[in-house]
Chain A
Amino acid sequence: MKKLFFGVLVVSMLAISLVGCAPTATAAPTTAPVVATTAVPTAGGTNPAPTAAATNPASTTAATVDLSKTEPIKIGYIGDLSGSTAVWGQAGLNGALLTADEINANGGILGRQVEIVSADGRGQAADSVNALNKLIDEDQVIAVIGTNFSSCNIAMAPIADAKHIPLLATAASNPLVTVDKNGNLLPYSFRIGFIDPFQGQVLANFAYNQLKFTTAAIITNVADDYSVGLSNYFEKQFVADGGKVLIKVEGQSGDNDYRAQLDKIAALNPQVLMIPWTYKDVALIANQAREAGITAVLIGGDGWDSTDLLTMAGPALEGGFYTSQASYANDVTKPFAAAYTARFNITPETEALFTHDGLYWIKDALTRAGAVDSVKLRDALENTTTFTGLMGTMSIDPKTHDPSKPAVINTIKGGKFVYYGSYK
C-alpha cells in the first residue's frame, strides 16, 4: 500500500514538473534559461503574441506585449508595502499613482494610458523576486520601478535580464545593482539615484573642503551593506583629500545602545562624526553621542532622509549635514508635494519623487524609442543624454547605467531640514 502510494506521488510530481515546463531553450551560459511564455496557453484570453522562436535569448527578441492600441501600458512598482520600511514603499506607490494620473491627463504615453501595477517585495530578496516574476508573467508589465534596497535589486537583476524587462531601481545605491561583481553590465538594470561611491565622495569633499574639517570619526552599521559601503567610500576620499580618520567604530542596528563605541570616539574628540545609518538609528546615535559629550558636527548619507528623523532626534542633530537626492527642500518639487499631501493626507517621502521621475523617464525613453517595446525601451534608457525630472538633470553612463546627477546637501537648522547646496 505504502509503495503504491509512494509510486503515485513520484509519478504525479514528475507529471506536474513536465507539464509545467514549456519547452525551454538552454540559455547562453551567462544568465538563467529563457522561458518561452507562448507554448502553454494561458487561461482562455489573450495570448501574448508568439515571439520569434525563443531559441536565441542572447539576441534582442523581445517579450513584445501584444496589446491593441487602446490598452494601457502597464508599469510595475515593487517596494516594501507592508514591512518595517513600508513608509517608503507606500510613498513610492502613491507617487507613482499620482504621476500616472498626471501623465494620463496629458495624453498618456504614445497615445496610451499608463497603468501602475504594484507588488509587495517586503524589502526581502525572495519576496521581491516573486513579485517581479508575477508582474512580468502575470501582469505583463513593460517595465518595473523599484526597489530602494540594493539586495533586492541584485537578486532581481538576472530575471530582468532574462525576461527583457527594464528594472529601474529607485534609491538602491550599491554599485552592484547595475554592474555585477565581475565587472559585467547588467543590461536591464537601471537606477534613478546616485551610487554610494559618489555619495561618500561628495560627503568627504564637503567635510574637508567646505567645512574645513581635518579630523573625523566614523560609526558603521556592520549589518547593513549600505552603511559599510558608504563608510568605506567616505574614508577613502577623506584621507585622499588630506584628512585623518581618527577612529572607526562598529555597531549593529537593533543594538539600540551605542554608548560603548561613542565613548571611545568622545575620548579622541574628532571635528566631524560620520553616521551612515538609517534614520531611526541615526536619532539614537545622535542623542547618545551628545550624552557622551561628543561635540563634533554630525554628517550622514541619504539614510537620514525621513521626516521622522527630526521628531526622533530633537536638538542633537542641530547643525548636522547629510547628502540626499534632490528632494523636497527644492522649490521645484513644491507643486508635487502639495498635490501629494492633498490626495494622500500625509507628507511625501523622497521615494515618491523617485517614482515620479522614474515614470517620466520611462515616458521620455518610450517616446524616443517610438514603440511600446521593452527592448527598445531598454536601449532608449541606456542612451539617455539628458533627462530632467523633479530631482534634477541627469545623464546615463552606458557602461554602468549609473546616472550622473548632483547630490544635494541638506542641513538641520532650527529643527528643520534646510537645503544647503548642490554638489557634483
Chain B
Amino acid sequence: MFLQQLVNGISVGGIYAMISIGYALIYSLLGFSNWAHGDVAMIGAYIGFLFFATAKLPFPIALIIAIVGAGLLSLLNERIAYRRIRKNNSPTMFLMIAAMGVSTILQNFITVTVGPKFLTYPTVVSVSTIKIGKLHIGVLDAVSLLVVLISIILLILLLNKTRFGLALKACASNIAVASILGINVDAYVMWVFFLAGSYAGLAGVLLGMKYTVYPQLGNVSLKAFIASVFGGLGSVPGAIIGGLFIGIMEGMITAFVNPGLRDIFTFSFLIIVLLIRPSGLFGKNVSQKA
C-alpha cells in the first residue's frame, strides 16, 4: 500500500515539478512568483486539444505546437503585463497583482470563447495498467513520467552545459551587473519566460490527458508554487524535488490521514517551511522585505 501510494505520488509530483520549474526559472530572474503560470499550462492543454482533437493532427505535432504556443504565450505575458512594472522599479507586489489579473484574463477568456465544458483528449495511449509485482501504474502515467524525466534532464543540461545557461545564471545572480557586463538582459528574460512557458505547456497537455481539460486546470499551480517554495524559490533542482515531495506527501495524507483535510496539511506545511527555513531546501538566502 505504501509503495503504491509512493508510485501514485511520484506520478502526480512529476507534473507539479514541471510547473514548479517554471516558477523557479522566473523567480530566479525577476524575484517574483508568476501567479499566471498555471494558466499558461491550461492554455497549453487547450492548444494541444485544439490541434489534436479538433484539427486531427498527429499527436506529436499537436504536442509540439502546444509547447511552443504556451512558451509564446508566457513570453507575451511578460512583454505586455510585466515588463513595464519591472522597468518602473515598482514593488514586486505589483507584479503579483498583474499576474493575478493575467490569470483571471486567461481563465475567463477560455470560458467565454471555448466554453466551460470539460473536454476529453482522445486516447493517445490505451487506458490500461502496467503491473509490476503488486504495484500498478497506468500506462498514461508511466509515459508522462518518462516524458517529465527526459525534459528535466534536458533542462539541466541546458542550464549547466551551454553558454546560454551560463548567461542565464549570470542574470539570475545579479541582473544589474549582468546587464553592465553586456548581456542583453531583456532578451534573456524573454527566453526564460519562453522556456518556463513551454514546460508549463507540456505539463498542461499531460494534465489535460490525465484529468480532462477545463478552464480551472491551472489551479494546480498553487501546489506547484508551494513545491517551489519548499525546494527553494529560484532553484530548479529544488523545484523538482519540491514537486515530487509535495506530490508524495499529498498522496500519503490522502491515503493514510484524511482526504478532506489534506489541503490544511499542505498549507500548514507551507507555513512551517516559511517560518523555519524560508529559503527552502536549496534557495538563496532570502532576506526580508528590504
Task: State yes or no: do A and B touch (Cβ within 8 Å).
Answer: yes
Nearest-CB residue, chain A, relative to B259: A250
Chain A contacts for B115, CB-based, 8 A: 86
Known: A291-B129, A314-B127. A87 touches B117 (CB 8 A): yes
Say yes or no: is A256 at the interface (Cβ < 8 Å to chain B). yes
A236 at the interface (CB under 8 A from B): no
Q: Mark B244-267, 1 if CB is under 8 A from A, else 0.
A: 000000011011001110100000
> How many Cβ-Cβ contacts under 8 Å join chain A to chain B?
77
Contact A291 B118 (CB under 8 A): no
* Cα A254 to Cα B216 with chains together (Å): 9
Nearest CB in chain B: distance from A106 CB, A: 35
Query: Any chain A CB within 8 A of the CB of B174?
Result: no
Taking a contact as CB atoms under 8 Å apart, the answer to whether A260 and B219 are in contact is: no
A251 near B259: Cβ-Cβ < 8 Å: yes
B221 at the interface (CB under 8 A from A): no
Given A280-B212, A312-B212, A260 contacting B116 (CB threshold 8 A): no
A370 smallest CB distance to B (angstroms): 44
* Residues of chain B with a CB closer than 8 A to A308's CB: 117-118
Question: Does A291 contact B138, Cβ atoms closer than 8 Å?
Answer: yes
Q: Is the CB of A261 within 8 A of B116?
A: no
For the complex, what is the distance from the CA of A252 to the CA of B216, rounded to whole Å? 15
The distance in angstroms between the C-alpha atoms of A389 and B143, with both chains bound, is 51
Interface residues of A (CB under 8 A from B): 83-87, 222, 249-252, 254-257, 259-261, 263-264, 267, 280, 283-284, 287-288, 290-293, 308, 311-312, 314-316
Given contacts A260-B252, A280-B118, 16 further A-B contacts (CB under 8 A): A84-B215, A86-B116, A250-B259, A252-B260, A252-B262, A256-B211, A257-B8, A261-B254, A263-B5, A264-B255, A267-B1, A280-B212, A292-B136, A308-B117, A308-B118, A314-B127
B4 within 8 A of A: yes
Interface string of B106-129 (1 = CB under 8 A from A): 000000000111101001000101
Q: Which residues of B contact A259 (CB under 8 A)?
A: 8, 251
Cα–Cα, bound, A84→B219 (Å) = 15
Q: Which of A252, A290, A314, A316 contacts B259 (CB 8 A)?
A: A252
Which B9-26 residues have a C-beta within 8 angstroms of A? Answer: 12
B 53-82 to A, binary, CB cutoff 8 A, 1 in contact else 0? 000000000000000000000000000000
Q: A288 — which chain B residues lie within 8 A by C-beta?
A: 138
The 5 closest A-B pairs by CB, nearest first: A260-B255, A256-B211, A260-B254, A84-B116, A259-B8
Q: Are B255 and A263 in contact (CB under 8 A)?
A: yes
The smallest beta-carbon distance between A26 and chain B, in angstroms, is 42
CB distance from A269 to the nearest CB of B (A): 14
Q: Using Cβ atoms and an 8 Å threshold, which residues of chain A touch B252? A: 260
B118 touches A293 (CB 8 A): no
A85, B113: Cα distance in complex, Å:
15
Please tell me if B84 contacts chain A, counting CB pairs below 8 Å: no
Chain B residues within an 8 Å CB radius of A254? 216, 219
A residues less than 8 Å from B251 (CB atoms): 259-260
Contact residues, B167-218 vs A (CB, 8 A): 210-212, 214-216
Q: A283-B212, A292-B136 are in contact. Are A250 and B127 (CB under 8 A)?
A: no
Q: Shortest distance in angstroms between A233's beta carbon and chain B's nearest beta carbon?
A: 19
Interface centre among B118, B138, B216 (most CB of A within 10 A): B118
Determine chain A's interface SS by DSSP, over half rule: helix
User: Which residues of the partner chain A approach B215 to less than 8 Å between Cβ atoms?
Assistant: 84
In the complex, A316→B128 CA distance in Å?
Answer: 11
Closest to B141 in A: A291
Task: Look across to chain B and name the residue whose beta carbon is closest to the beta carbon of A267.
Answer: B1
Complex CA–CA separation, A316 to B210 (angstroms): 14
CA distance A329 to B252 in the complex (A): 43
CB distance from B82 to the nearest CB of A (A): 28
Q: Which residues of the partner chain B approach A263 to less than 8 Å between Cβ atoms?
A: 1, 4-5, 8, 255
A248 to chain B, nearest CB (A): 11
A222 touches B216 (CB 8 A): no
- Please report the C-alpha to C-alpha distance between residue A362 and residue B134 in the assembled complex, in whole angstroms: 59
Minimum CB–CB distance from B208 to chain A (whole Å) comes to: 11
Partner of A287, one of B116, B117, B127, B259: B127
Per the bound structure, the CA–CA distance linking A244 and B89 in Å amounts to: 65
C-alpha spacing A61/B62, complex, angstroms: 65
Residue numbers in B under 8 Å from A293 (CB-CB): 129, 136
Q: List 9 A-B contacts (CB under 8 A).
A: A86-B115, A222-B260, A252-B259, A255-B259, A280-B212, A283-B120, A287-B127, A308-B117, A311-B120
Report Cα–Cα, A86/B258, bound state, in Å: 32
User: How far, in whole Å, are A314 and B122 apart by their CA atoms in the complex?
Assistant: 10
A251 contacts which chain B residues (CB < 8 A)?
Answer: 254, 259
* B118 interface neighbour in A83, A267, A287, A312, Cβ under 8 Å: A312
Q: How far is the CA of A141 from the CA of B115 in the complex (A)?
A: 30
Residue of A nearest to B15 (CB): A257
B5→A260 contact, CB < 8 A: yes
Measured between alpha carbons, how far is A107 from B180 in the docked complex, in Å?
Answer: 83
User: Once the chains are docked, how many angstroms separate the CA of A287 from the CA of B211?
Assistant: 10
The complex places the Cα of A404 from the Cα of B252 at a distance, in Å, of 45
Q: Could you say which residues of chain B place their CB within 8 Å of the CB of A315?
A: 127
Q: How far is the CA of A290 from the CA of B1 in the complex (A)?
A: 17
CA distance A32 to B127 in the complex (A): 55
In the complex, residue of chain B having the shortest beta-carbon distance to the beta carbon of A259: B8
Q: Which one, A83, A252, A257, A284, contacts B212 given CB within 8 A?
A: A284
**How distant is the Cα of A264 from the Cα of B5 in the complex, in angstroms?**
10
What residues of chain A lie closer than 8 Å to B129, measured between beta carbons?
291, 293
CA distance A315 to B260 in the complex (A): 29
* Shortest beta-carbon distance from B290 to chain A in Å: 35
**CB nearest to B7 among chain A residues:** A259
A312 touches B219 (CB 8 A): no
The smallest beta-carbon distance between B234 and chain A, in angstroms, is 28
**CA gap between A291 and B258 in the complex, in Å:** 22
